[in-house]
Structure 1
């Protein structure tokens, strides 16, 4: 077929490991093997034509970060490669210092006795008094003057493997000035904050135990920060067996998110970095001044023993209390069978409120946070748990009973926040086999313009692949104006319209467009309250298809990627797929989406078997971005950018971007 040659050449980005993958972290034995984290990953960076690419080498667990530009003719020009720009005297700091920055230089004399004891321990936990030599090697320095140095692994890579973390570029603040100043601060404060010159920097975690900070223009490493929560594992990296016999370990392996916030009578840019598979924790930094990065706080299992692994990014939003906060689920595989939404003060990390669900489960995934009335305050949060329950949380003055009213003159006390619907789930998948929700939902307006559709997918990617069938759901939340919802009945699978996936060739995928007879009245039992798509079931050599990343609203459509893992240990995925669907129906798009015949246009000629597919087989790292030559949306792969249609109202450089209805 014509489309196959185009897309297989254009999107061929996933490559095989050049050495047999080793087991992952002790706690995540299957993560490195089963997630399709190919050695090389493409990430869209600051501009439509500029990209960051990460790579790792499983021979020595080294990493690489490159910045590239794709010209209008399709040529790739490398702008810099980070390993070529490490300074001779590196700035490496450890979090938790007593100074004003909260960071201290990573030198032996600066460590307290407890920290020195941790480094004086080998990977099995036995004391060995090699801590000072170990620290020098971690800094990339020679330690030949120390006799015990020869007992350790020599020549550690300057940049460790980057597996699941993604680089994040933070530059000059770019939020709309009038909007931000309507939220917080005196007139002119955000405008002055934006006008201050700021060097753009790239932040990325690596499995050498550090968050690395690179100059976005030159690729020079400016700073590396070691979260204190990973200090007890650093000895593993200096074991002479680490790159050979010892299992791979994760350290700073999670996502990062940055947001402009107001506290202490000034605007700041705050960066949150999760440890991901590397630990149960979160690091918060004030990165407003690239020359003086300050630690705000660390939040990990030492403060909250119920914390799980934070594998996707938290949300930073403004609460009705008047505080800016980090909103996060307590994580995947949380301890004590407890699922909670945590609201942390963005300046101090103090717990503002914990909202526990009444159903014991192994953690709450990251939430989707929405501002439904556009006043700049977070009104609702939606998150799923390991049992397949989709919860909503009311984050406003629930005694007011109506979000369309003027906000109260005084800040709301966080004690007014609650688990919605009388502490019952909005939706439950439990009528079916176990379907854990481990990703944040997405949101789109309901076609009736009353309420929202909450889009949530199921399946887990951090453990050995299971065979339980997974699904994508669109759940209608009809009560988003502050109404009393105590009498709500949890939505079930019987309330949803089924849409089917079909394929004639295993490479293109069609979705049905069965119409939905939406429920008209509150207590009516007729009509539907959403839709669902069952993903591909497990087969003899494959596990079940499941979502790889949260779904994204793009133009008029919704995109999501899935993976079909192998059931054999440490094998690459059998297939990954990119779907672009109609979110109001849960079915195929009402128009062609992909340029299947390779003529540079998406039109009625782009069909497969007489149908316009809404899904294709593609590498896991494909990106929907903007073609620098045309300003139109396209699917970016190794060989170029293939045209894609996101709807007649989504053409042009501006309107293709992700729109999350009502998200602050």
Structure 2
């Protein structure tokens, strides 16, 4: 399995990953410099996920040997024929479950209706379809069995013989191990010398004439000497299927030209031709031979699709397998039916065993699906060490059963081609009307309680159904001896150990229209029918079973649909484990109105996804609205552009034809049209030429989503009078709120993505979650080929933060998105996102990378944007670590052109780099300065107040405002941007947190880190020529005395809150501003405690510091939402470092913040990235009666105290309500950032 994380904790970015991430190791700056940041998520590599159990049950009934689908086109009632397309077709086993006296092959005459229909994929969906590429079965290592030979195509892939020479082929054909589809000389018709019967329709060419009733002689004759063309298919030309004239026969070796046969995009074995493909006759014959050998029966088709889907999976699954007709055998010490082998880690010999079993699966028996599902449910109910919950299933490791993982999920994938019949469930309780009855009460952590109550779309009035069996193993606790720690999801509320069923129907339809009837079934206006064995209502029951167990039902008509269905099921299993199951789940998120956007990533194949969640009025997460992978356009339709590094045009379409010769050359020797198509999402050459992926989106680790619509208001209407655009800014802000929105996020498949999402607006023209734009910076082109390598490990591409801002040039306001590649190849870029849903190459403004300036390092903090005193709009950022000179430097870039305005060098090197920047703006919103920290612990102030850019420089005569060191005098690295507030005595209080997390070794560092509040006394004053400048009063200089910083400390006492929550206290000392210049708060809650993100200002003047440690003070627990780190949300008074003086959080869990709660500073949470804040600034409602008194059914508002307002700290997997004093009057959202991973 690919372990998926909700992008909170990843690894190498300075600012991206965990929720309370902060500092990292203290390293010796005199040592050699690492060339690049770590290229794997530091916070997740050591974690041990709760690998899910997956039982795959294959239908091995006799109908799986049939050569046609669906069942409705075969014999019914007393009819007694079975269609065989080739007289030599004998893969082993019986041809039919019905006794017949002859084997009937389709007549060679082109006008025979039976032959036409059964050899047309439009009618018989299992038959050869020239628009599908048929590939051999897959092995455990992703390799494939050999292509079939049209001159001697094997009748059974498991009974292959040598067909490399003409003599060997003749022997194979004579021995019945192969058949000829063409002659040795390549001609199309062959002569049969064996004695076989050749039969045709009784009333040739008329309706209802494809079968013969019992007792009626078949219209057959001996075919000895008959000439026919086996490699033949029929094209249905429209009209009914009962008239032979509606079909056209195509004999591949006779009727098709040698070259230039037009085919669709699915024929990836052929050359590209426009939007389709162009095949040769030899390719068509090869494809037909592969179909015959590997796909011509239902069983073969199932093996082909299953082998491909499972070969794409990583090792983080525990897979078992079974057959619905498997008799009772001893499985891991217990007599069991259906299950052939219990779950095992999907690797090594156990992985090989699965594929060996799959390739040799039989087809003989009935379809006892109810009993089979019950058998699997009983297997998942085992509690012994050798069973599915054991730490090493199949062996007894001697541990107590109560030590089994409590959050491991269990899935059952049931594939069938037929209506169920035969045995009912062996478990008596599973044979009742389970979904029509109340279920048992199940309890879990945090006072959770659940009891199933019959309701649509689950309940019905019928007993002894497959859906009842599914419900029985869903609403019962399969391991009552274990605590219930399964993480619920939007589609599955179960927090107890249970079984989820995914069901796949091959070539079948029921009485309910799938999926069209789903809304009516959900609403209860349409019910489930009573299943009748061997009838179409059992297909409805198969769908119902998936619904009851909160799985999914999929219907497949051909090998492509089957493979896609199974792959989507396995992807969903991986997604559930990644985002909810137990490693660092949920990374970055942001809220836009009523949505929250949460990216995830899978470590197995390094793919990802972005999910939008609806929120209620209190910011509580509701259902998922969409996910990007499901809405991604076809690879040929995606709007992807690649930057040209400021050449004209600034970007070109990312297609082979669109790339310039120089750009193709930069991609390396392996660059080709196929590689470009692969990077766009084409999966046709995965597993052979290129690396397999379970999804087309790359992993989202450190980049945070940014919702571009109407959230940004820079208050530029306060710009100095006469500034261009000042008078139009309010209208521009209003116009932004009316446009369609797009969520932008950087990904590690080499590109920045934009996904449309404007709830309730233009849902037809811009489907929610659909990718509308993607951008590849040119600096990344040389590394793109690595993404396709079968030996790909992981590296970062567009992994840095994004910043949305506004600017004015050329007579118009612009909405601009500035991003960085983070730990990827260094680059900073800007896009015009004024009209975000209609973007193209012309929206790329510029790129700034090391080819422009080698002093650019890895920029892993958000870029700042503003109007400079010289009248230019600029992007401002620190150079980051790993620059050419290794010194801390500030970049100021022209926002319109990308040209360098000024680079300010602090002169301090030693493996140094400047971190995140916070711009200082005057009362007119013009930039006059900036704060930033570096890796040597220096807090720098830059003077940008001169109208002449050449005069800009480091404030305080080139000295830092302060240098942060630990008790051993080691520099404390600063990577997060500072924040500042106005100091009541003039100047600014600068808030800084220390720590880093982007190099190998950072995750294990225990160097002490701290939070600081530093008083910068320097004040803005009116300059002689007008405008604001910095005072040069010597008394307002930097902080030089360590004793002027008062140390505050965390209390050793913690508060145990409701639901297992832990709250923390701060012991503080009063500051004397006549002698003190600030405060410090050592991060000592756990070892490795650090700060990696900029503090946020909250209601009541408090600062929210989100800190973290990459390792917990407790043993790693795979069942924790984050087990590779721990986070802390802390409310601190920015002026003195103290905690609040009255209750702010609901510590007792009664849903109300009042005097009954404890006074605390903050609480323990997940290390999942920077949270966002939702303020409810409306006047709280007052109950009309006293809550809790007799006759009053109103709840007490969570924050109804006079002068108080509710706020919500939004994490990626939950939220926390608080109550603080405020005078604001509106609700606003703030973006959620994430820690570096």
TM-score by length of 2: 0.45
Q: 102-111 or 428-437: which moved more?
A: 428-437
1:64 aligns with 2:609: yes
Contact 2:1016 2:1038 in 1 (8 A): no
- Which structure carries more relative contact order (alpha carbon 8 Å, separation 6+)? 2
1:91 aligns with 2:639: yes
The aligned residue for residue 252 of structure 1 is 798
The aligned residue for residue 691 of structure 2 is 153
Tell me: CA distance 1:78–1:181, structure 2 relative to 1, closer, same or farther (3 Å).
farther
The aligned residue for residue 1166 of structure 2 is 619
- The structural deviation recorded for 1:131 is 2.8
How do 1:506-585 and structure 2 match up within 5 A?
507-519=1062-1074, 527-536=1075-1084, 542=1087, 544-555=1088-1099, 556-566=1101-1111, 572-585=1123-1136
1:636 aligns with 2:1216: no
1:139 & 1:162 partners in 2: Cα distance?
Answer: 17
How do 1:275-314 and structure 2 match up within 5 A?
275-290=821-836, 291-293=838-840, 294-314=843-863
Contact 2:993 2:1092 in 1 (8 A): no
Contact 2:1089 2:1108 in 1 (8 A): yes
Tell me: CA distance 1:31–1:533, structure 2 relative to 1, closer, same or farther (3 Å).
farther
1:340 & 1:303 partners in 2: Cα distance?
Answer: 15
How do 1:20-419 and structure 2 match up within 5 A?
27-29=36-38, 32-34=41-43, 38-41=584-587, 43-47=589-593, 49-72=594-617, 74=620, 76-88=622-634, 89-96=637-644, 102-121=650-669, 129=670, 131-141=672-682, 150-155=688-693, 157-172=695-710, 175=713, 176=715, 178-179=717-718, 182=721, 184-186=723-725, 188-191=727-730, 193-194=732-733, 196=735, 198-217=739-758, 218-242=768-792, 247-290=793-836, 291-293=838-840, 294-361=843-910, 362-371=912-921, 373-397=922-946, 412-419=947-954
1:184-233 per-residue CA deviation (whole Å, 9 max, x = no partner) reads: 32565335544655321111110000101111131111111111111111
1:499-525 per-residue CA deviation (whole Å, 9 max, x = no partner) reads: 111233483211123110112xxxxxx
- The structural deviation recorded for 1:624 is 3.5
Q: 25-34 or 344-353: which moved more?
A: 25-34
2:942 & 2:802 partners in 1: Cα distance?
Answer: 24
- The structural deviation recorded for 1:276 is 0.7
- The structural deviation recorded for 1:591 is 1.8
Q: 314-323 or 460-469: which moved more?
A: 460-469
Contact 1:173 1:193 in 2 (8 A): no
Paired residue secondary structure (1:229): helix
Q: 300-309 or 561-570: which moved more?
A: 561-570
Tell me: CA distance 1:22–1:457, structure 2 relative to 1, closer, same or farther (3 Å).
closer
- The structural deviation recorded for 1:657 is 6.7
2:1104 & 2:10 partners in 1: Cα distance?
Answer: 32
The aligned residue for residue 589 of structure 1 is 1140
- The structural deviation recorded for 1:143 is 5.5
- The structural deviation recorded for 1:114 is 3.3
Tell me: CA distance 1:360–1:548, structure 2 relative to 1, closer, same or farther (3 Å).
closer
1:365-410 per-residue CA deviation (whole Å, 9 max, x = no partner) reads: 1211112x4022111211111111111111113xxxxxxxxxxxxx
Contact 2:1050 2:1085 in 1 (8 A): no
In structure 1, runs of 5+ residues without a counterpart are 1-14, 122-128, 398-411, 520-526, 659-664
1:286 & 1:133 partners in 2: Cα distance?
Answer: 30
Paired residue secondary structure (2:797): coil
The aligned residue for residue 964 of structure 2 is 429
In structure 2, runs of 5+ residues without a counterpart are 14-34, 46-582, 759-767, 1021-1029, 1056-1061, 1179-1196, 1199-1204, 1232-1237
The aligned residue for residue 606 of structure 1 is 1157
Q: 176-185 or 99-108: which moved more?
A: 176-185
* Higher strand content, 1 or 2: 1
Aligned residues: 595
1:215-268 per-residue CA deviation (whole Å, 9 max, x = no partner) reads: 1131111111111111111111101122xxxx2111001110111101122211
The aligned residue for residue 523 of structure 1 is none
Tell me: CA distance 1:265–1:23, structure 2 relative to 1, closer, same or farther (3 Å).
closer
Contact 1:391 1:426 in 2 (8 A): yes
TM-score by length of 1: 0.82
Tell me: CA distance 1:229–1:156, structure 2 relative to 1, closer, same or farther (3 Å).
farther
Paired residue secondary structure (2:592): coil
1:447 aligns with 2:979: no
1:336-355 per-residue CA deviation (whole Å, 9 max, x = no partner) reads: 12111111110011111111
1:623 & 1:189 partners in 2: Cα distance?
Answer: 30
Paired residue secondary structure (1:588): coil
The aligned residue for residue 499 of structure 1 is 1048
2:721 & 2:589 partners in 1: Cα distance?
Answer: 33
Q: CA RMSD in A?
A: 3.2
Tell me: CA distance 1:486–1:101, structure 2 relative to 1, closer, same or farther (3 Å).
farther
Tell me: CA distance 1:657–1:109, structure 2 relative to 1, closer, same or farther (3 Å).
closer
1:454-478 per-residue CA deviation (whole Å, 9 max, x = no partner) reads: 0111111112232211111111011
1:649 aligns with 2:1217: no
1:7-46 per-residue CA deviation (whole Å, 9 max, x = no partner) reads: xxxxxxxx9869xx99979833375023799242352321
1:75 & 1:178 partners in 2: Cα distance?
Answer: 35
Paired residue secondary structure (1:111): coil
Tell me: CA distance 1:301–1:70, structure 2 relative to 1, closer, same or farther (3 Å).
same
- The structural deviation recorded for 1:437 is 0.9
Contact 2:591 2:1229 in 1 (8 A): no
Tell me: CA distance 1:17–1:44, structure 2 relative to 1, closer, same or farther (3 Å).
closer
Contact 2:5 2:600 in 1 (8 A): no
Q: Which has the larger radius of gyration?
A: 2
The aligned residue for residue 541 of structure 2 is none
- The structural deviation recorded for 1:548 is 2.9
2:924 & 2:678 partners in 1: Cα distance?
Answer: 52
2:37 & 2:964 partners in 1: Cα distance?
Answer: 25
Paired residue secondary structure (2:1135): coil
2:1225 & 2:626 partners in 1: Cα distance?
Answer: 30
2:1051 & 2:755 partners in 1: Cα distance?
Answer: 45
2:44 & 2:1032 partners in 1: Cα distance?
Answer: 42
* Higher helix content, 1 or 2: 2
- The structural deviation recorded for 1:426 is 0.8
